[in-house]
Amino acid sequence: MSAGGPSRRVLLRAGAGAAALTGLGWGAGSLYADSQQEARGAADPERPVRIGYLPITDASPLLVAHANGYYEDAAVPVADPVLFRSWSSLSEAFVAGKVDAIHLLMPMALYMRYGLRADVRITAWNHTNGSALTVRPDVAEIADLAGESVAIPAWWSVHNVVVQKLLRSAGLTPVMRENPSRARRTVALLPMAPSDMLPALNNGVIGGYVVADPFNAAAEARQVGHIHRFLGDVWRDHACCVTMMRGELLRNRPAHAAGFMDALVRAQAWARQNRPETAALLAAGYLPQPRPVIEQALTYSAAAHGDALHHPDWHGERLDFRPYPYASFTEELVRAMQDTVVDAPAGFLDGLDPALVHRELVDDTLVTRSIEKAGGLAAFGMTGTTRTEEISA
């Protein structure tokens, strides 16, 4: 791949393989049509850094940094963040060079790098936890989902990885293309845009969904579903979305990339200490959900959701912001993805060395520096740069 931008081969591969990301199609032609023009401006030091995001609390650091003026403080020109309605549209824009920095499901980041050979890097964790399995009011146990469909945001998502662990632990079998059967104890997985999940649950199209907040909090607020299990209670302090930057930004505008990371880490430190205020900022034009729902998603009470927590000391109900990207998580995620059922091309996982993936895909140089400027690891509840993964379905 040239330093000037994505090659035609990469862009056409992205169009052809788009269903692997979410089950929704991309247009290869639209990817290539504007890519060369976008690439020509990548090195322009005056061009604002363009941010893309989905309307979920996972995007909080990117948005808080904008709302609080942290990018400006770091001397980084930034355009107003652009809201996308689906992972497919956000990913298409990122691969095509229409946005420079995004939050993205970490398994999707692996697919971009190794399935599409895109010139992208993970530069930090955007958040930890923040997702849940929400089910209809009549579903009391996971076993009750036999014969039902469960919506996931994407095939390549931590949500898909973790919900399959939950289903199998309950003696259920996840399936892709066949009708679910109560007799055979199968559950059909259905990729769906997060904004479509709550209506589908309310209309009885699905038995549950696994997704980021505030869609879980919204189901409870509208009394159309309840949180059955927080994903942070299954995989302790897991990364869901990561911060990704395009290679052109890192290579051609290193000062802006470094300043951008300073602002993002500063926003994470502020958001974890100012949750109601974060909800107010997000509700003021960034997210379409009402402030009470967003605040509920940021301030879940463990006492009020005890049934959704098997490990209350993990605080898996709590969206948190711990920007350092642990190698142990990358490695365990690669192994988990290799065992996850997907209706998508998965050949890129064959023979992948988990440790090598972390070294090639994750660049922790900027975030390590930014964490030190923000007060060190302790400011984010971290004690070191290594850890042991804890998973309990």
Q: The tokens of 131 are what?
A: 């997702």
Q: Residue with structure tokens 């929400």?
A: 134
Asked whether residue 179 is assigned to any structural domain, the reply reads yes
Same domain, 103 and 151: no
Distance of alpha carbon 355 from alpha carbon 349, whole angstroms: 13
Domain assignment of residue 66, yes or no: yes
Task: Tell me: do 275 and 353 sit in the same domain.
Answer: yes
SS3 285: coil
Residue ending a domain, among 218, 233, 248, is: 233
Bridge partners (DSSP) of residue 152 are 191
CA distances (Å), 33 to each of 28, 51, 282, in order?
Answer: 9, 20, 33
Examine the domain organization and report whether 143 and 261 are in the same domain: no
Partners of 247 in the β-ladder:
none
CA distance 92 to 98: 8
Provide the b/e sequence for 236-263 (b: ≥16 CB within 10 Å): bbbbbbbbbbbbbbbebbeebbbbbbbb
Residue 282 counted as domain residue: yes
Query: Which residue, 382, 257, 254, is CA-closest to 326?
Result: 382
pTM of the full predicted structure?
A: 0.90
Residues 180, 289, single domain; the answer is no
Neighbours of 50 (CB within 10 A): 21
Q: Which of 203, 233, 263 is the last residue of a domain?
A: 233
Same domain, 142 and 276: no
The token pair at 32 is: 């290539």
pLDDT for position 45: 73
Q: What is the distance, to the nearest Å, from the Cα of residue 229 to the centroid of all Cα atoms in its chain?
A: 18
Quote the pLDDT of residue 222: 95
Q: Is residue 34 part of a domain?
A: no
Give me the domain span that covers residue 353.
44-129+238-380
Q: In angstroms, rounded to a whole number, what is the distance separating the alpha carbons of residues 215 and 136?
A: 13
Q: What is the pLDDT of residue 17?
A: 45
Examine the domain organization and report whether 102 and 150 are in the same domain: no
Structure-token match 């980084």, residue found: 76
> Same domain for 189 and 253?
no
Quote the CA–CA distance of 202 and 197 in Å, as a whole number: 9
Q: Is 67 a domain residue?
A: yes
Q: Give domain status of residue 311, yes or no.
A: yes
In which element (H, E) is residue 246 found?
strand 241-246
* CATH number of the domain enclosing 313: 3.40.190.10
- How many separate domains does the chain show? 2
Q: Are residues 100 and 58 in the same domain?
A: yes
Decide which of 195, 216, 233 is a domain's last residue.
Answer: 233
Computed over its alpha carbons, how large is the radius of gyration of the chain? Answer: 20
CB 281 within 8 A of CB 198: no
Per-residue pLDDT of the chain (393 residues; tens, 9 = 90+): 333 444 444 444 444 444 455 543 344 344 434 444 455 555 577 799 999 999 999 999 999 999 999 999 999 999 999 999 999 999 999 999 999 999 999 999 999 999 999 999 999 999 999 999 999 999 999 999 999 999 999 999 999 999 999 999 999 999 998 899 999 999 999 999 999 999 999 999 999 999 999 999 999 999 999 999 999 999 999 999 999 999 999 999 999 999 999 999 999 999 999 999 999 999 999 999 999 999 999 999 999 999 999 999 999 999 999 999 999 999 999 999 999 999 999 999 999 999 999 999 999 999 999 999 999 999 999 999 999 999 999
Residue 57, Cβ density class (10 Å: 0-12 exposed, 13-18 middle, ≥19 buried): buried
Q: Write down the H helix ranges in 245-379.
A: 247-252, 254-273, 275-283, 291-298, 327-338, 354-361, 365-373
For residue 43, what pLDDT is reported? 59
Residue owning tokens 């095939």: 155
CA distance 59 to 121: 17
Note whether 143 and 164 are same-domain residues: yes
DSSP assignment, residue 9? H
